Amino acid sequence: MTTQTGLPLFVLGRSADPHSEKGVDCPGELPPASDPGLVERARKAKAALGDRLFVLGHHYQRDEVIQFADVTGDSFKLARQAAARPEAEFIVFCGVHFMAESADILTSGDQKVILPDLAAGCSMADMATFDQVEECWEALEDAGLAEQVIPVTYMNSSADIKAFCGRNGGAVCTSSNARRALDWAFERGGKVLFLPDQHLGRNTAVLEMGMSLDDCVVWNPHRPNGGLTPEELERARMILWRGHCSVHGRFTAESVDDVRSRVPGVNVLVHPECRHEVVLKADHVGSTEHIIKTLESAPAGSSWAVGTELNLVKRLAQTFPDKEISFLDRTVCYCSTMNRIDLPHLVWALESLVIGEVVNQITVDEDTTHWAKVALDRMLALP
């Protein structure tokens, strides 16, 4: 099985060298993580590149990397920021593959988007392949339903899935604007095919838009006809793709009960990629930007259990020491692919640029770019 980047899933361990796995020679030495000069080297390389360089960092990145980001943000903010920097020749994206693809789609042809480690994919994005989605669409056409279906894909999907949505009258959404994107979609059709995160789709439809669980069905790409009967498809308003985040999907309703029993008065704050039963039990739900803003404005002395990626939760606990901030479930770990981007890879990418070598450039072909941009622009134009 391969990931969106075409790499076998088993290379995700930190010790694997993604370049040799791909059969591509690493054009230069990857500095050892133990090199005490790495911070200084990154600073020097950044200074040498000056305004030619723009570094974007997703909130789930390691501290050692995020310190070099010119802008930090959630997927939505970073997509906007990438589009707003036409003067930067190089955009180094400290995040995962689908984010770098989106940045390439939204930037001009002269700008180069670089992902410091090509093995930084996303298991959720890998759960919806183009062929599977095409097969699903053909089944909807055969059932005479495709005309009423608007495809909406979460940002966490490959460029060709975004392009599929653009071509078929649909849009992209992020966790910050899923509700608005679904309102937009239901103004245009009676049903939505929501890709690839079933949890974000279900949580938005049921908790924000007042639909019932019966309005939602789950399309399983590994079963004939998605494992659904024609009647189930006919009745459904939300056709949810059977995909999930392998980090957020691990928080459980029991972890919410457990923290409530241990910490009286605790506020539970989770990301909408969490399972429906977890979100139902939480006090607040929102994207990573929303989580940060909620904690920023929380009163001193308040207690919070946060269900999102661990790098961010640790950083928030350090940033707001006047609040008691803990991780919702101690058995859930970091996003291993976000963590692929470490200081050695960042230094390697930046120093390569300084000597005129563009490494790990992410490029999306012209036709895919065109249609994916249609879907992304529909999202960016949402009120």
The residues of the shown chain that bind ligand 13P, judged by CB under 6 A, are 74-76, 122, 156, 174-175, 245, 273, 287-288
Q: Which run of H or of E encompasses 150?
A: strand 149-154
Nearer to ligand SF4, 49 or 78 (CB): 78
Distance, CA of 159 to CA of 37 (rounded, Å): 37
Which of ligand SF4, ligand 13P, none sits in contact with 174, Cβ below 5 to 8 A by type? ligand 13P
Listed in sequence order, the residues at least 6 apart from 37 whose beta carbon sits closer than 8 Å to its beta carbon are none
List 66, 114, 118, 124, residue binding ligand SF4 (CB under 6 A): 124
CB of 14 to ligand 13P, least distance (A): 19
Q: Is 360 left (phi over 0), alpha (psi -120 to 50) or beta?
A: left
CB of 128 to ligand SF4, least distance (A): 12
115 sits near ligand SF4 (criterion: CB under 6 A) = no
Question: Three-state SS for 171?
Answer: strand
What is the C-alpha separation between 333 and 191, in angstroms, rounded? Answer: 35
123 binds, among ligand SF4, ligand 13P, none (CB under 5 to 8 A by kind): ligand SF4
Residue 149 has phi, psi (to 5 degrees) of -100, 130
Q: Does the annotation flag 333 for ligand binding? A: no
132: partner contacted, choices ligand 13P, ligand SF4, none (Cβ within 5-8 A by kind): none
347 touches ligand SF4 by CB under 6 A: no
Would you say 116 and 97 are in contact if contact means Cβ atoms under 8 Å apart? no
- The binder of ligand SF4 chosen from 156, 174, 287, 339 (CB under 6 A): 156
Q: Closest residue to ligand 13P, Cβ-based?
A: 74
Q: Is 289 annotated as a binding residue?
A: no
Nearer to ligand SF4, 309 or 351 (CB): 309
Q: How far is the CB of 156 from ligand 13P (least distance, A)?
A: 5
Decide: is 123 part of the binding site for ligand SF4 (CB under 6 A). Answer: yes
Q: How far apart are CA 74 and CA 289, in angstroms?
A: 6
Annotated binding-site residue? 156: yes
Nearest to 57 by CA among 49, 68, 46: 68
Instruction: Please state, in angstroms and rounded to a whole number, the distance separating the CA atoms of residues 308 and 286.
Output: 10
Alpha carbons 154 and 273: distance in angstroms, whole number: 11
Q: How far is the CB of 164 from ligand 13P (least distance, A)?
A: 20
When CB distances are held under 5 to 8 angstroms depending on the partner's kind, the choice from ligand 13P, ligand SF4, none that residue 74 binds is ligand 13P
- Give the whole-angstrom CA distance, residue 122 versus residue 106: 20
**Nearer to ligand SF4 (CB atom), residue 96 or residue 372:** 96
CA–CA separation, 107 and 85 (whole Å): 8
Partner whose binding site includes residue 369, from ligand SF4, ligand 13P, none (CB under 5 to 8 Å by kind): none
Q: CB under 8 Å to 201, separation ≥6 — which residues? A: 154, 178, 192, 194, 216, 238, 240, 241
Residues 303 to 322: which contact ligand SF4 by CB under 6 A? 309
272 known member of a binding site: yes
Q: Is 3 flagged in the annotation as binding? A: no
The H-assigned helical ranges of 203-342 are 230-235, 253-262, 276-281, 288-296, 310-319
With binding defined as CB under 6 A, does residue 332 bind ligand SF4? Answer: no
Q: Is residue 329 near ligand SF4 by the rule CB under 6 A?
A: no
Q: In angstroms, give the least distance from the CB of 288 to ligand 13P.
A: 4
What phi, psi does 195 have (nearest 5°)?
-120, 155
Q: Which of residues 234-293 bind ligand SF4 (CB under 6 A)?
A: 245-248
Tell me, what amino acid is at 287?
Answer: S
Greatest alpha-carbon pair distance for the chain in Å reads 63
With respect to ligand 13P, which residue has the nearer C-beta, 78 or 239?
A: 78
Q: What are phi and psi of 333, to 5 degrees?
A: -115, -175
For residue 255, give the amino acid letter.
S
Q: How far apart are CA 308 and CA 364, in angstroms?
A: 29
Judged by beta carbon distances under 5 to 8 A according to partner kind, the member of ligand SF4, ligand 13P, none in contact with residue 337 is ligand SF4
Annotated binding site: 58, 75, 122, 154-156, 175, 245, 271-273, 288, 335
Contact residues for ligand SF4, defined by CB under 6 A: 60, 96, 122-124, 156, 245-248, 309, 335, 337-338
